[in-house]
Amino acid sequence: MKRMRWWPLVVGGVLAIGILGGCSSKGIQPMTFDGSAWPGISAYSVVTVMPLQAGPGVVVDPQLGAQMAEGIARRLRSDFGQVFAQVRIGTPAGQDNELVLLGEITECRTGQGPDGGPARLDGQIGLQDAADTQDIANARFDTLRKTAGMPGQIRTLPELIADTEAAIAFTVARAKGWKPAGTP
């Protein structure tokens, strides 16, 4: 009988605990739909969506970050009822009840041209308290799209942008307390 080797499982478990412990020690929670992972988010009545920035060395259309901020804000205003009393775009006012959504685009590829690869849009968003700029949560675009049920098939860049905007707005609305119709 072949002897089983358990050390890979033990090492993997220790690494997973170390990685998860590292994330929580920073005070920033990964985005989930569980409101308990976002302490105090229900108290925010205002959200300010800042234009997304291009990461270091990333070449994108200069208008893309502002367009995505507008798309996220539009969805937060219209797709989830009155989740927030006010949804703004631009510079935060620094109010006590204000949540700031900011993001960074780390990869943007149209999927056309000499490389012939698929379209790609990656990056991350974060939530901060506007009054004290304390980080509350963060998540990667691809994780948000998967969690929101977006298909993983190859799409065009405009479709990826729309899916990412929808996934971000959906996640923030869920964290604020919004529930889809028919959810207990």
The CATH number given to whatever domain includes residue 151 is 3.40.50
Query: Sign of dihedral through CA atoms 34, 162, 136, 105?
Result: positive
Helix, strand, coil shares of the chain as percentages rounded to 5?
35, 20, 40
**pLDDT tens per residue across span 162-184:** 999 999 999 999 889 888 777 66
Do the domain assignments include residue 2?
no
Do the domain assignments include residue 21?
no
Do the domain assignments include residue 62?
yes
pTM of the model: 0.77
Look at residue 180 in the predicted model and tell me its pLDDT: 79
Do the domain assignments include residue 20?
no
pLDDT band at 19 (very low <50, low <70, confident <90, very high): very low
29 compared with 99, residue with greater pLDDT? 99
Do the domain assignments include residue 60?
yes
Do the domain assignments include residue 16?
no
CB-based contact 109:117 (threshold 8 Å): yes
Domain that holds residue 168: 27-176
Q: How many domains does the chain have?
A: 1
The CA distance from 1 to 69, in Å, is 60
Using a 10 angstrom Cβ sphere, with 0-12 exposed, 13-18 middle and 19 or more buried, the burial of residue 180 is exposed
Do the domain assignments include residue 6?
no
Q: How far apart are the first and last CA of the chain?
A: 51
Do the domain assignments include residue 18?
no
